[in-house]
Amino acid sequence: MKNQLEQFDRLVKFLDDGLELPILNKKVGFDPIIGLIPFAGDAISLILNSASLFFALRLKASIWVLARMGFNILIDFAIGSIPVVGDVFDFFFKSNRKNYLLLKQFTENEEKLIARSKWKAMGFVTVLLLIFAAFLFVLYYFVATLFN
């Protein structure tokens, strides 16, 4: 288990902390750099970031931890895909580092992390359902206005 976590840490360092920016005194990985490539960069980043889920599966992480990790990847991809704003966002939001810390906490204190993850995952699902309901309402209003 420790060996798997060390392998994941090496990947995280490559993707999120690989280079030091001396001007900003900040570590940056190759993930935001790859994301600068138009269109394909975000898809490549998504594939590389998804590797964290494979490490989580190997470590037998709970579904709740996997959901939180997937949410971090989803945020990174969704906001990172927005031109210019997403590129800046990618330099500061380190989804792989967040996912590594989740897995590390899971291996150290499984029950406590699962309890916290359940509430966060349920909150995420609730927000998604509210966004979907708002979308349906706007769509209904648009169609009703169009045909009246």
Q: What pLDDT, on a 0 to 100 scale, did the predictor assign at position 60? A: 86
Q: HSE (CB half, 13 Å, CA atoms) of 116?
A: 9
Q: What pLDDT, on a 0 to 100 scale, did the predictor assign at position 20? A: 81
**Cα–Cα distance, 102 to 11 (Å, whole number):** 15
Greatest distance between any 2 Cα atoms in the chain: 64
Q: Are 28 and 14 in contact (CB under 8 A)?
A: no
H or E element that contains 59: none
* Among the listed residues 62, 75, 141, the one whose alpha carbon sits nearest the alpha carbon of residue 102: 62
- Mean pLDDT for each 10-residue chunk of the chain (148 residues)? 80 85 80 85 89 88 87 90 87 91 84 67 77 82 83
Q: Are 34 and 86 in contact (CB under 8 A)?
A: no
**Cα–Cα distance, 75 to 91 (Å, whole number):** 13
Q: Are 100 and 12 in contact (CB under 8 A)?
A: yes
Q: What pLDDT, on a 0 to 100 scale, did the predictor assign at position 114? A: 64
H or E element that contains 28: strand 26-28
At residue 97, what is the residue type?
R
pTM over 0.95: no
